[in-house]
């Protein structure tokens, strides 16, 4: 799918205008990858997970090399190395940390569950299950239709949505196939095309495909934007950045498997900042407003990213996608017509966390309102205040999800285990699954 001529022309002018206003300072933008920040391959006892950016930060010692980091460590490293704004980095860290079942609401593993516990400074934080990591929270942090990972419930994934799946990286890589190296740029528009393809893949291959509001409206699209915005290498000629093949491969731990460059290989824990790499300009941090602008830019390229794939999932097996109506879900606070106005897209995403996060957290912690929500999620409104959000006219009713989407119910704490997630079909169209039975039972229980 391609932009209409006028839209493409307008987008091009916008990019040229933005690039011309940026400065390039090689001294302040060159990222140090020597000395204490030299690359060291992750070892067998180190934690690595679904986020290539965090993996690279750990491999270079910008966060602890073992992959166990605090909120402040993740914020400081993300702003220093990748040029995220404080609000952007803080919102990601503050939202994600409780979802990993952090026993102090401050420290997480960026991958697998913590093997060794640590002293807990907050005596009133009591967990119901053992501490986890970023590999744990499906549909609350990790989500379906990601750029390079299979869906958790997709046949063939073996329940692992955290490790890079080389064919998906190849799918992205091939979007610039045949171009001379100097012309390659994995721009936000290329990432938008890849994102649309990944949604179609998930709908066709994952019977439990589902995206909740925060993940569908914000997190999913931002993850694609960040590939271009965080990893692009800046220069005097391209102050806005250009993401070439070698830079993309380096950040994902990918190398050519043979001298002819016809095949690729992936090394888990090998995510690496290139030896000569310049971050985005220090006077141009990537904030939440820029994220929202990029989400809209992706949707101008591929309108279905908002119109169809922003919230919803499969309802009756493969290829049975249904979109959640924004107006109905929000009592017309936001509608399909207004969601593109201002920063409404991000506003609805963040406000949905207030309604939906406790449903997950109640399965992980005791006294959620007095601990997790009070200590951490009370900080989110201040981080997003510049978006100028209109408050919802009422809480979001969970039955918008539990009554239709087996993938939502399967992700909840205490949900029945999902059968057969190895090779082969999970089930055929029309078969009744345990998850759908659970969904129907949930609806009956709530009236």
pLDDT digits (tens, 9 = 90+) for 206-224: 999 999 999 999 999 999 9
pLDDT digits (tens, 9 = 90+) for 133-178: 999 989 888 899 999 999 999 999 999 999 999 999 999 999 999 9
Q: What is the mean pLDDT of residues 41-56?
A: 97
State the DSSP code for 214. Answer: I
- Average of per-residue pLDDT values in the chain: 89
Q: What is the pTM of this model?
A: 0.89
pLDDT digits (tens, 9 = 90+) for 377-401: 788 888 898 999 999 998 899 998 9
The answer to whether 350 and 343 have CB atoms below 8 angstroms apart is no
Q: pLDDT value at position 4? A: 40
Q: pLDDT value at position 396? A: 93
Please check the confidence at residue 438 and state whether its pLDDT lies above 90.
no
Q: pLDDT value at position 22? A: 84
Compute and round to an integer the Cα radius of gyration of the chain.
21
Residues 6+ apart with CB under 8 A from 174: none
DSSP assignment of 110-142 equals SSSPPSS----S-TT--BSS----TTS-BTTTB
The answer to whether 157 and 150 have CB atoms below 8 angstroms apart is yes
Lowest mean pLDDT among 105-109, 177-181, 380-384, 437-441: 437-441
Q: pLDDT value at position 118? A: 57
Q: pLDDT class for 122, splitting at 50, 70, 90?
A: low
Q: What is the mean pLDDT of residues 318-329?
A: 97
Q: What is the mean pLDDT of residues 404-421?
A: 83
Please check the confidence at residue 442 and state whether its pLDDT lies above 50.
no
pLDDT digits (tens, 9 = 90+) for 301-316: 999 999 999 999 999 9
Rounded Cα distance between 132 and 104, Å, is: 12
The answer to whether 15 and 21 have CB atoms below 8 angstroms apart is no
Please check the confidence at residue 91 and state whether its pLDDT lies above 90.
yes
Please check the confidence at residue 121 and state whether its pLDDT lies above 60.
no
What percent of the chain has pLDDT above 90? 78
Find the helix or strand (DSSP H, E) in which 440 lies. Answer: helix 434-446
Dihedral sign, Cα of residue 150, residue 45, residue 98, residue 406:
positive
The answer to whether 72 and 268 have CB atoms below 8 angstroms apart is no
Q: Which residues pair with 69 in a beta bridge?
A: 108
CB burial of 101-126 (b: ≥16 within 10 Å; e: otherwise) equals: bbbbbbbbbbbbebeeeeebeeeebe
Residue 99, CA atoms < 13 Å, CB-side half-sphere: 25
Q: pLDDT value at position 376? A: 78
Q: pLDDT class for 124, splitting at 50, 70, 90?
A: confident
Query: All domains of the chain, ordered by start, with CATH?
Result: 26-138+155-446 (1.10.489.10)
Q: What is the mean pLDDT of residues 188-192?
A: 99
Q: pLDDT value at position 148? A: 98
Q: pLDDT value at position 177? A: 97
Rounded Cα distance between 79 and 73, Å, is: 10
pLDDT digits (tens, 9 = 90+) for 1-19: 333 434 444 445 444 445 4
Side-by-side strand order, sheet with 321-323: 210-211, 312-314, 321-323
Tokens of residue 279, six digits: 């971050």
Residues 6+ apart with CB under 8 A from 405: 210, 312, 313, 314, 315, 322, 439
Residue bearing the bigger pLDDT, 77 or 439: 77
Q: pLDDT value at position 119? A: 55
Please check the confidence at residue 424 and state whether its pLDDT lies above 50.
no
What percent of the chain has pLDDT above 70? 87
Q: What is the mean pLDDT of residues 191-204?
A: 99
């Amino acid at each position: 799918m391609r932009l209409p001529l006028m839209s493409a022309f307008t987008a091009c002018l916008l990019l040229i205008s933005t690039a011309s206003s940026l400065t390039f300072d090689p001294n302040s933008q060159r990222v140090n990858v020597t000395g204490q920040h030299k690359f060291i391959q992750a070892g067998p006892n180190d934690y690595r997970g679904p986020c290539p950016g965090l993996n690279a930060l750990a491999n270079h010692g910008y966060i602890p090399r073992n992959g166990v980091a605090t909120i402040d460590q993740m914020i400081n490293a993300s702003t220093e190395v990748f040029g995220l704004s404080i609000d952007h980095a803080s919102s990601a860290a503050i939202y994600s940390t409780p979802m990993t079942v952090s026993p102090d609401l401050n420290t997480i593993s960026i991958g697998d569950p913590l093997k060794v516990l640590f002293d807990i400074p907050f005596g009133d934080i009591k967990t119901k299950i053992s501490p986890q990591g970023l590999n744990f929270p499906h549909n609350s942090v990790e989500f379906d239709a990601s750029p390079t990972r299979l869906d958790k419930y997709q046949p063939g994934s073996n329940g692992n949505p955290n490790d890079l799946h080389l064919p998906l990286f190849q799918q992205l890589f091939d979007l610039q196939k045949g171009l001379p190296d100097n012309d390659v740029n994995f721009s936000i528009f290329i990432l938008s095309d890849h994102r649309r393809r990944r949604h179609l893949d998930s709908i066709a291959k994952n019977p439990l495909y589902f995206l909740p509001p925060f993940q569908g409206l914000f997190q999913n699209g931002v993850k694609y934007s960040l590939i271009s915005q965080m990893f692009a290498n800046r220069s005097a000629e391209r102050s806005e950045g250009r993401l070439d093949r070698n830079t993309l491969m380096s950040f994902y731990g990918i190398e050519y498997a043979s001298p002819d460059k016809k095949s690729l290989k992936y090394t888990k824990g090998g995510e690496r900042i290139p030896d000569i790499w310049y971050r985005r300009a220090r006077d141009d941090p990537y904030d939440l407003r820029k994220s929202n602008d990029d989400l809209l830019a992706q949707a101008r390229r591929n309108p279905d990213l908002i119109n169809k794939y922003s919230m919803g999932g499969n309802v009756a097996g493969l290829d049975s996608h249904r979109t959640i109506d924004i107006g109905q879900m929000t009592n017309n606070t936001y509608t399909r017509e207004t969601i593109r106005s201002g920063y409404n897209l991000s506003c609805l995403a963040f406000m949905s966390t207030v309604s939906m996060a406790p449903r997950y957290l109640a399965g992980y912690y005791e006294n959620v309102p007095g601990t997790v929500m009070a200590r951490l999620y009370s900080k989110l409104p201040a981080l997003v205040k510049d978006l100028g959000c209109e408050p919802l006219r009422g809480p979001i009713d969970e039955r918008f999800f539990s009554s239709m989407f087996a993938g939502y119910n399967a992700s909840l704490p205490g949900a029945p285990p999902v059968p057969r997630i190895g090779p082969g079909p999970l089930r055929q169209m029309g078969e009744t699954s345990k998850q759908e039975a659970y969904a129907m039972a949930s609806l009956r229980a709530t009236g």
